Amino acid sequence: MEFIKRQLTELLTNYGDISILVIDGWDAWWSRISYEDVPFEEIYNYIKSLQPNCLIAEHNAGKYPDSELFYTDIKHYEQNAGQLISKETNNLPAASGYPINANWFWKESFPTDSVKSAESLVYNNLIPLNEAHCNFILNVAPNRDGLIDDNVVAEFKKIGKLWQYPGKAPKLEIDKQPIITTNLAKGRPMDSSWSFDTRISDFANDDDFTTAWVSYDTVEEPYIEVLLDENTSVCAIGFAELDDVEFYDKAGHTRIGNYVITYFVNGEWKELKVEPQNSFVRIHRLLSEIKASKVRVTFHNCKRGLAISELLVY
């Protein structure tokens, strides 16, 4: 941690104002470093202490749902990896990266290979992404002389003729704060009502939004709960529903009717008064901290195939 902080101090104090710090897959499946191994909250707060206006953009859109800012100030999509932002529904500050060449890093064939067309980059990316509150990052790989290849320069000139800066984009109406703390439910003992044998409650706190606890169809009021340490401080509670065509006739159709969130403290269950939400990720930020040794979500009037990918407690 001290080594990382010294690096950050050098980068964020020697070069003036830094607008954005891009982190390339801190908690990605291939990085082997979790947000607990290197505590995200501590690093996040340290960066803000050095440069309060510096935005942190973590490449994690491939892991976390696109309706919340999980461990990032900006939802960052890498198009070459199949991470595509919804141009119709996005309501988060976002960025989308795309190389004009076939790959991010220079190859010997690049000077003669075809590049992505100016028309596609402007009309299919730059304009619609900007309208969706998404900054478009176009990558160009310098060659071994540190120069831009002629075929890329020629396409850049076309881009300059096709697109002119239209002025500032509309402001986002929704102001969502990023989640920077660890999910307290992650890896903890779980309990639930009857579920399918191969879709037990442990799938709802494995830090994997592609797996899920699936309630058995005959259960009228299914519930799922997590056991925490005694008097654990909790500031937000929610859950993520599995958005998967295996369980839904069409992705985007929720199976949830109503739900009640309760927590166990001093030997009794207490209900949280929350405004119901209607999205695949529902996080209720509490006005004041509570203490709890258990957290439970009970579902009412839900349709068959209820699948909860993650129980979220912060």
pLDDT in tens, 31-86: 888 999 999 999 999 999 999 999 999 999 989 999 899 999 999 999 988 899 99
To the question of pTM greater than 0.85 for the whole model, the response is yes
In this structure, what token pair is assigned to residue 79?
């198009």
The CATH class, in words, for 190-313 is mainly beta
Quickly state the pLDDT bin for 227 (edges 50, 70, 90).
very high
The whole-number pLDDT of residue 168 equals: 85
Q: Look over the chain and give the mean of its residue pLDDT values, rounded to a whole number.
A: 93
Class of 2-162 in CATH: alpha beta
Please give the Cα distance from 45 to 182 (Å, whole number). Answer: 14
pLDDT (0 to 100) of residue 304: 85
DSSP symbols for 19-68: -EEEES-TT-TTT---TTTTTHHHHHHHHHHH-TTPEEEES-TTTS-TTS
Domain boundaries in the chain? 2-162, 190-313
